[in-house]
Structure 1
Amino acid sequence: MLKNRTCSAMDGVLGGFSAHASNIVSTVSIATGHDPAQNFESSRSITRMEAVNDSKDLHISVTMPSIKVGTVGGGTQLSSQSACLNLLGAIGANREAPGSNARLLATIVAGSVLAGELSLMSATSAGQLVNSNMKYNRSSKDVT
């Protein structure tokens, strides 16, 4: 958690403390036909982690107050993006419960961010992130 707070503050992040929520929000946005420029508002988030049950368990949560998504119009009608929304069960308008598909998509975005935050923090804590970067990104070998 210190990484989220310290690095976000040093980077001048406005509106949140997370490890990489914007990466996930951008990916889901592009895959579902949304304007990736909405990333700034949609990625505002706070990831919290707390040891519970005498430090035997970890409670992790993410708060994302301004996710901007839709399931009709614009890029959601493109074939690949429409197929992605269909796969997620959030395509088009829901006539019986207006707005429910957009709420479902927002929930999927938040759940994806939560999973990504847990994965990145786990890799960082275990030292795997640095090791893999040193092995693959900073390698002196030509990996192409």
Structure 2
Amino acid sequence: GDAMGMNMISKGVQNVMDFLNKEFPDMDVIGISGNYCSDKKPAAVNWIEGRGKSVVCEAIIKEDVVKKVLKTNVASLLELNMLKNLTGSAMAGALGGFNAHASNIVSAVYIATGQDPAQNVESSHCITMMEAVNDGKDLHISVTMPSIEVGTVGGRTQLASQSACLNLLGVKGASKEAPGSNSRKLATIVAGAVLAGELSLMSALAAGQLVKSHMKYNR
């Protein structure tokens, strides 16, 4: 469906455990969660097997856009992505953090659309890839996000401001025609926003403009 589903799963597990307790009175129930779900925690299982929605988003940015709009070049972006997002993250022992700042975008969208902000932890698992295409002239960029946890019904999605944001995105509530399609669309919106954020920050870094822009706007 279009709910994130954690509450429904918890209720279902509780009912199953209650039934089993009646059938097997000597059974000792320690808790309904054993933490293998790794909810709200960085874990390899979510990175490998996925959790919630798994999304890959990609785009091709033309050479003239890279130069005129992003103020850099394809070669510089490729080198920066390899040394920063891939090599640097590996040296730091990152778990699902092979990106520039995916969590900034994920947390912003989550708060605006009534998601659980704490699930930003695993939902921000992301690897950003860049390569040269079309005879090395253009940039191909992609983000792979295996565990985006979103819902368009239930919880904070019912709050006025958050409900309005979901409505603006065209994903408010449950889809009657195709159950689950609204939450899937929201997950793709999250990934698309992350891709745009990755391209923006990486371009600013490659062009040496990050600190200058912060100073200019007094941040």
**TM-score of the pair, normalised by structure 1:** 0.89
Q: Distance in 2 between matches of 1:113 and 1:134?
A: 24
Greater relative contact order structure (CA < 8 Å, 6+ sep): 2
Alignment match of 2:173 (pick from 76, 81, 92): 92
Q: Distance in 1 between matches of 2:139 and 2:159?
A: 40
Cα RMSD after superposing both structures = 1.6
**TM-score of the pair, normalised by structure 2:** 0.60
Alignment match of 2:118 (pick from 28, 31, 37): 37
Consecutive aligned runs of 4 or more in structure 1 exceeding 3 Å deviation: 9-12, 133-138
Corresponding residue number in structure 2 for 1:141: none
Q: How big is each residue's C-alpha offset from its partner over 1:7-46, in whole Å with a ceiling of 9 and x where there is no partner?
A: 4335443123000000100000000001110011100010
Q: Distance in 1 between matches of 2:103 and 2:200?
A: 15
Alignment match of 1:62 (pick from 139, 143, 163): 143
Which ranges in structure 1 are unaligned for 5 or more consecutive residues? Answer: 139-144
- What number of residue pairs does the alignment pair up? 138
Task: Evaluate the alpha carbon distance shift between residue 77 and residue 41 of structure 1 in structure 2; reply closer, same or farther with a 3 A threshold.
Answer: same
Cα deviation, residue 47, structure 1: 0.5
- Paired-residue identity, %: 80
